[in-house]
Structure 1
Amino acid sequence: MKKVLLIATGGTIASKKSDNGLKPQITPEELLEYIPQVKNICEVNAIQLLNLDSSNMEPSHWKMMVHCIRENYDKYDGFVIAHGTDTMAYTAAALSYMIQNSTKPIVITGAQKPIDLEITDAKSNLLDSFLYASDEKSQGVSIVFDGKVIAGTRAKKVRSKSYNAFSSIDFPCLAVIQDLNIMRYIPMLPFEKPVEFYENMDENIFLMKLIPGIKPLVLEAIFEHYDCIIVESFGVGGIPQSLAKDFYKLCQEHPEKLVIMATQVAHEGSDMTVYEVGHDMKKYCRFLESYDMTLESVIAKTMWLLGNTDVTKENIEDVFYKSVNYDVIFGKNRKC
C-alpha cells in the first residue's frame, strides 16, 4: 500500500466558526477522521505545517512546503497539501517551479465549505486527492478539486462560492475522478531529469493592472524599487498613450529590469504584435509576454527565475518560455 503524507496548511477545509467568521482550527488528524475510507486507499501520515487563511499565504510559506516535501521525499510515495482556495492557484504554480521533475505526485486540495459541515465538498475533495496521490500513473504538481485534476500551472479560481471553483485555463484537465475511478485525459510522460528542488523566490515583483485613464504618476517609483514589472494589460496587450512616453523612457533608463506583458483576459493569452499600442512598445522596449500562461504562473515563474540565477545563466527569455508542467504551450512561436 502506498504511503502518502498529508501536509495541512489551514484554509476553509480546516475551519470552524469563530466570533469573527471562519478560522482554521481543525487538525490534520481530525481531517482524516472525516474520511475513514482512506484506509482502504493508502497509508497516511499527517503534519501540521501551517494554519492559515490562505489570503495570508506568502512565498515564505511556499518555501516551507518545499522544504517539508524535500525532507520527506524519500519516505513517501505521494503528498497531499490541504490548502485554502483563495491563493491555491498561486501555490500550485509556485510549487510547479520549485519542485520540478517529480515522479511522485504533489496534490493540492481544499474546499469551499469546512469539512465538519453536514453538506460540504471537503470530504470528496480530500478523498479524491489521496486516491490520485497514491496512483502509480500520477506525478508532478496538480490541483484536485471537484472531481477535476488540473496541472499546477493551469489552474485559476473562477468562482468564489460554488464547488466547481477552479478551471483549467486553455489546457485540458489531466484527469477526472468519479466514484473513486480516475479517468485520464493527458498521459504522464517520463521526466528526462531527476527531481529538482528550489527554495529561493524573488518576491520583489510588481503587478501593474491597467485601467482606462491610468496616469504615469507612480511609474518611476515602480521601476526604481522592483526587479520586475508585470503589466496586466487590456486584451492581447499594449501600453496606452497615457503611459507610453514615460514607460518607454523608464525602460531605456532601467535596461536591467525585467518587464512582462500579461493580460486581464482569462483565456487565449497575449500577443503584442496585433495592435499598434503593443507592436510599437515591443519594438522599442525589451518585453517578455505571458502568451498562453496564466497570470498566477507568470508571477510564480518570474519569482523563481529571478530567485535562482543559476537557472538563468543562459538567455532569460529562453528559460521563461521553456515549458514547465504545461505552463506554456504556444509561447513566442504562436501563429496569429
Structure 2
Amino acid sequence: MSQTTELRETVTLQTVTQDISLSPRIAIIYTGGTIGMTQTDKGLAPSGNMAQRLSQLLSQQPDGIKNQLTSFDLFTLEPLIDSSNAQPEHWFQLAAMIWRYRDQYQGFILLHGTDTLAYTASALSFLTQGLGKPVIVTGSQYPLEFENSDAPNNVIASLVYAQNNQIQETLVAFGGHLLRANRSSKISTYSHQGFATPNLEALGHWRDDLFSLDGSRLLPAVVTDSNLYLSLSQAAQQHQAQVCVLKLHPGLSADLLAPLLRAPVQAVVLETFGSGNAPDQNQNLMALLKAANDSGIVIVNRSQCPNGPVSQSYATGSALSECGVISAVDMTCEAAFTKLHCLLQAGLQGDELKQAFKRNHCGEFSV
C-alpha cells in the first residue's frame, strides 16, 4: 500500500444485543489485522464480512456477558490492511473519523492489527485529546474463528469498557488487561498477553464476565470542541512529518549516522544505553549530534531498556544534554515517535517543539 492510500469507511452493520428499540451506542471501526484474517492459498490475509462474524460471536455468549453489552455500528474501512502497512496518515484519518461521529456514539472501538497497534493507539491518544469519550483499541494474536483465539475475549472486553463514561482517554484492551494507549508496547508475537505498559500498572482487568476498572487512575475529563492536531489532518495527507528512530550500538560510527541526521529529517528518537547513556568518548558522534541539533533537528533521548526513565545523570548521559538532546523520561518508543509526529504536524519546530515535547499531554510519561 502506498503512502497516499486513503481509508474509506462504510457502515456495514447495526446490531442490537438486547432490545431492538435501543439506538447504537458504540462505534466499532474495523481496519483489518489478524483479528479478521482468514486462511487463503497465500496464507492469512485481511478479510471482510466482519458483521456476520461478530453477530455470531455475540450470540454464543452466556447471559452474564450478554447483559453487559449494548448495540453498536460497525464501520469497515476500505481497503482492509495488515497493520505492517499502516502509515502515519492513517492515524489522522482515523482521528478525523472519530471526531466526525463524536456526538453519535458513547464510545469507539478500533479493531487493529497487532504489529503497529501501539503506534496507532499512541497517536490516537494525542489526536483525540478532549474528545470526552472512551476510545478502545484492540486486536488479537489469532484470527477470530481460530480455536482458542484471544479475539473473542478482547472484542467483548472492548464492548464493555467502551460504554464506561468514566473513561475519557484512549486505552488498549488486550489479554485481560486494560492499558493506557500511549504507555503500551507489543511484548510478544504469540502470547494472549501480547501488550504491556512497562512503566505503568494496568488500569483494569477482566476475566470471564467480571470487568474491573481503577477509575482513580484514569486521566481527568477534559472535553473540548476542537483539537490542536486534528485541524491538520488534511495537511497530513499532503505532507508528512519526518521522524526516525535510531538505536545506538557498540561500534556505531558518525559516518554511518550522518545521512540520517540531516534534512528532510525533522526529529529523531535516539534509543540509548541504560538510563540514557551514549559513547561520549566518540567525539565525532557527539559533534554530529550537536550539529544536527544546531540545524534544527530535535533529538529525543530514550532508553533501550523497557523499564525505568532516562536520567542523563552519568557523564555519558550529560554529554547528550550538552549536545541539545532532550529526555523522553520513561516514554515508550511508540509514544515518543507519535508525539513528535503530532507536534510537528501542528507546526512546531526547534525550541518550541522541545518545550511542547517536555509537557505531559495525556499521561504519556511518569511525573
Structure 2 residues without counterparts, runs of 5 or longer: 1-21
Does the aligned pair in 1 maintain the 2:102–2:131 contact within 8 Å?
no
Structure 1-normalised TM-score? Answer: 0.90
Structure 2 CA distance, aligned partners of 1:107 and 1:193? 17
Structure 1 CA distance for aligned equivalents of residues 222 and 104 of structure 2:
22
Count of aligned pairs: 327
Deviates more, 1:12-21 or 1:26-35: 26-35
- Report what 1:125 is aligned to: 154
Q: Where does residue 194 of structure 1 map in the other structure?
A: 224
User: Of 266, 274, 279, which residue of structure 2 is paired with 1:227?
Assistant: 266
Equivalent position amino acid for 1:277 in 2? T
Secondary structure in 2 aligned to 1:96? Answer: helix
Letter in 2 for 1:44: F
Counterpart position of 2:206 = 177
Instruction: Measure the CA separation in 2 of the matches of 1:243 and 1:314.
Output: 26
Secondary structure of 1:176's counterpart equals strand
Seen in structure 2, the aligned counterparts of structure 1 residues 191 and 314 have a Cα distance that, compared at 3 Å, is farther
Q: Using the alignment, how far apart are the partners of 1:242 and 1:14 within structure 2?
A: 51
- Partners in 1 of 2:221 and 2:355 — Cα distance? 20
Moved beyond 6 Å, runs of 4+:
none
Alpha-carbon offset, residue 309 of structure 1: 2.2
Question: Partner of 1:260 in structure 2?
Answer: 300
* 1-structure distance, mates of 2:154, 2:225: 27
Amino acid at match of 2:196: S
Contact 1:10–1:53 (Cα < 8 Å) also in 2: yes
Of residues 309, 319, 322 in structure 1, which corresponds to 2:356? 319
Alpha-carbon RMSD across the aligned residues, in angstroms, is 2.2
2:197 counterpart of 1:168: yes
TM-aligned CA deviation for residue 319 of structure 1: 1.9
1:149 aligns with 2:178: yes
Structure 1 residues 126 and 192, CA gap change in structure 2 (3 angstroms): closer
Alpha-carbon contact 1:248-1:281 (below 8 Å) kept: no
Q: CA deviation at 1:87?
A: 0.7
Q: Secondary structure at the match of 1:217?
A: helix
* Corresponding residue of 2:7: none
User: Match for residue 309 of structure 2?
Assistant: 269
Q: Displacement, 1:144?
A: 0.5
Question: C-alpha separation between the residues in 1 aligned to 2:249 and 2:183?
Answer: 25
Match of 1:35 in 2: 58
SS at match of 2:254: coil
Per-residue CA deviation, residues 183-239 of structure 1 (Å, 9 max, x unaligned), is: 122423542452543244643012111111111123332222210122111111233
Report the Cα distance in structure 1 between the residues aligned to 2:289 and 2:307, rounded to whole angstroms.
30
Distance in structure 1 (CA, Å) of the matches to 2:351 and 2:163: 37
Q: Give the aligned partner of residue 59 of structure 1.
A: 88
Instruction: Note closer, same or farther for the CA distance 1:180–1:77 as it changes in structure 2 (3 Å cut).
Output: same
Match for residue 85 of structure 1? 114
Tell me, in whole angstroms, the C-alpha distance in 1 between the residues paired with 2:220 and 2:303.
32
The answer to whether residue 35 in structure 2 is matched with residue 13 in structure 1 is yes
Q: Post-superposition shift, 1:86?
A: 0.9
Shift of the 213–190 alpha-carbon distance from structure 1 to 2, 3 Å rule, reads closer
Compared CA separation, residues 66 and 261, structure 1 to 2 (3 A): same
For 2:360, the aligned partner's letter is S
Question: Contact 1:219–1:247 at 8 Å: present in 2 too?
Answer: no
Question: C-alpha distance in 1, partners of 2:267/2:177?
Answer: 33
Partners of 2:179 and 2:204 within 8 A in 1 = yes
SS for the counterpart of 2:261 is helix
